[in-house]
Amino acid sequence: MEIFLAELVGTALLILLGDGVVANVVLGKTKGNNSGWIVITAGWGMAVAVAVYTVGRISGAHLNPAVTLALASLGQLSWGLVPLYLGAQMVGAFLGAVLVYVSYHGHWKETEDPDSKLAVFCTAPAILNKGANLVTEAIGTAVLVFGVLAIGANAGTIQEVNLQAAFSTALNPLLVGLLVFSIGLSLGGPTGYAINPARDLGPRIAHAILPIPGKRDSDWGYSWVPVIGPLLGGVAGALLFKALGF
């Protein structure tokens, strides 16, 4: 139960701060309106760092099904715990999105563009090509997982170090946040870089349920891309890390 609660709280905080910065940039009459992509990517990077620092000592702060599956594939996490982590991450992501909705309650009706309202909750491609979008998400998540594992393994080799604990302590969460910032700047252009199935799917469900004035559909036709792409990329990044013996 402690692990479930920690992952739930950590993922909720991640989404509150991450989707919150998107809301600040794209919704009407906010203090940060139209402040741009740099603000969004910086906000997401800091959101990851803060969330990992908050619950890392308890659960390892995966906050991302792709990270959970990557650690399980390396034998760093029992497969029996995987459903617990995934469930907590999905619930936390949904709750975090609800908190963003509440925080920006007065701004939904001040925003005319329904696509902008959807963008607060989930990603969408700049150019729709689901095959290419899937590859982009897989590459971005592979970089994320490879980088997270490398940051954690700086204390020693993969055989010697508990990677789950190592990447969530000391300065490592800050470095993970910088990694997410870097991925957003370099690889976020085509798809908005979900690189986290819970981060996209949980808030997308919230968008579908919440009484947001003037909203559009939740784009379920695209919703599988930021789920499957990161899962494939996360495992690929972990296996590459292991194969290289880092």
117: amino acid identity, one letter: K
Q: How many CB atoms lie within 10 A of CB 211?
A: 7
pLDDT in tens, 2-60: 999 999 999 999 999 999 999 999 999 999 999 999 999 999 999 999 999 999 889 99
d(CA 165, CA 77): 11
pLDDT in tens, 156-208: 555 555 666 666 667 889 999 999 999 999 999 999 999 999 999 999 999 99
**Residue 117 buriedness (CB in 10 A; 0-12 / 13-18 / 19+):** buried
Q: What is the DSSP letter of 214?
A: T
For every residue of 67-132, DSSP letters joined together read HHHHHHHTTSS-GGGHHHHHHHHHHHHHHHHHHHHHHTGGGSTT---HHHHHHHHS---SS--HHH
d(CA 246, CA 240): 9
What tokens were used for 76? 């760093």
pLDDT in tens, 62-77: 999 999 999 999 999 9
Compute CA distances 83 → 66, 68, 69, 77, 160, whole Å. Answer: 12, 10, 10, 11, 26
Domain that holds residue 67: 2-244
- State residue 139's pLDDT score: 98
What tokens were used for 94? 């949904």
Q: Residue 40 maps to which CATH number?
A: 1.20.1080.10
d(CA 246, CA 244): 6
28: amino acid identity, one letter: G
Overall domain count for the chain = 1
